[in-house]
């Protein structure tokens, strides 16, 4: 995943840089066009650079996913059995669940993943039907989390550096949802594509 992150970063910045360089070398005629667009209220090259890549946040992903889609709001409690948690993951085709404290639907207690099940139940020969989620989950004080305001690329860096595929979204100690590495990669790629289309339209005079 680290290689994927670097590839997305490098390609996006290189493409942006090459397009902006093209804008810079157009000379005085282009500068006149820029000034004319400023006077007419149209965006200039400088305003495009200010937008730049990597402006999307985790809140944008959660808004796009919706509260019930793709596991962003799926959860279990610390007192449920691992068997029930894994069954819940399987039925919704997700690889992780947020874990909350009983009676506190927004109080994040930790996270349980397929990896926890394999390493702490299967490998150790424990029973998933008698082991509680709270016994094998990654606890809150050890979690890597992001806030809704976290930049998407920053979330990608955290996930690749820490080798995790899911990251809880927390604000003021309350659970706001969860995003996966797939969500993050799609958001970065979509943003790069939109930015290049915007720069291409600017060069062609579509603005």
For residue 204, how many other CB atoms are within 10 A of its CB? 8
pLDDT in tens, 57-96: 999 888 887 655 445 578 899 999 999 999 999 998 889 9
* Residue 175 neighbours by CB under 8 Å, 6+ apart: 75, 98, 100, 105, 106, 107, 108, 168, 169
Contact 146, 58 (CB under 8 A): yes
pLDDT in tens, 140-194: 889 999 999 999 989 989 999 999 999 999 998 788 888 999 888 888 888 777 7
């Amino acid at each position: 995943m680290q290689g994927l992150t670097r590839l997305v970063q490098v390609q996006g910045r290189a493409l942006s840089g090459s397009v902006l360089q093209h804008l810079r070398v157009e000379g005085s005629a282009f500068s006149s066009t820029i000034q004319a667009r400023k006077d007419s209220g149209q965006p200039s090259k400088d305003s495009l650079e200010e937008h730049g890549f990597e402006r999307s946040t985790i809140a944008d992903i959660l808004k796009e996913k919706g509260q019930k889609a793709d596991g962003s709001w799926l959860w279990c409690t610390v007192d449920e059995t691992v068997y029930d948690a894994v069954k819940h993951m399987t039925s919704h085709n997700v690889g992780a669940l947020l874990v909350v404290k009983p009676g506190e639907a927004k109080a994040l207690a930790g996270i349980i993943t397929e990896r926890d099940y394999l390493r702490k139940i299967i490998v150790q020969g424990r029973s998933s039907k008698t082991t509680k989620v709270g016994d094998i989950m990654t606890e809150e004080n050890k979690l890597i989390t992001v806030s809704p305001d976290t930049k998407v690329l920053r979330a990608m860096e955290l996930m690749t550096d820490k080798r995790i595929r899911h990251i809880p979204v927390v604000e003021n100690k309350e659970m706001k949802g969860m995003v996966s590495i797939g969500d993050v990669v799609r958001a970065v790629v979509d943003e790069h594509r939109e930015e290049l289309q915007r720069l291409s339209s600017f060069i062609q005079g579509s603005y």
